[in-house]
Amino acid sequence: MQAEAHINALTVKHSDLDKLINSEQLRPIPDTITIKQLKIEKLKLKDEIEKYSHL
């Protein structure tokens, strides 16, 4: 049950990062470095979600 709660928390963080990325991309002059860093973090979360999903 703890793994499920952890997956849910990671999913929320993943969704929040997606919103931040979209928000940054909509800016008149998006910060590409920030977008890249957010996408890397989002991918790390996705990998961690996958890892815990297969337990």
Q: How confident is the model at residue 2 (pLDDT cuts 50, 70, 90)?
A: confident
pLDDT tens digits along 25-42: 999 999 999 999 999 999
Record the pTM. 0.87
What percentage of the chain exceeds 90 in pLDDT?
Answer: 87
DSSP at 30:
-
What does the pLDDT average to over 4-32? 96
Residue 45 pLDDT greater than 80, yes or no: yes
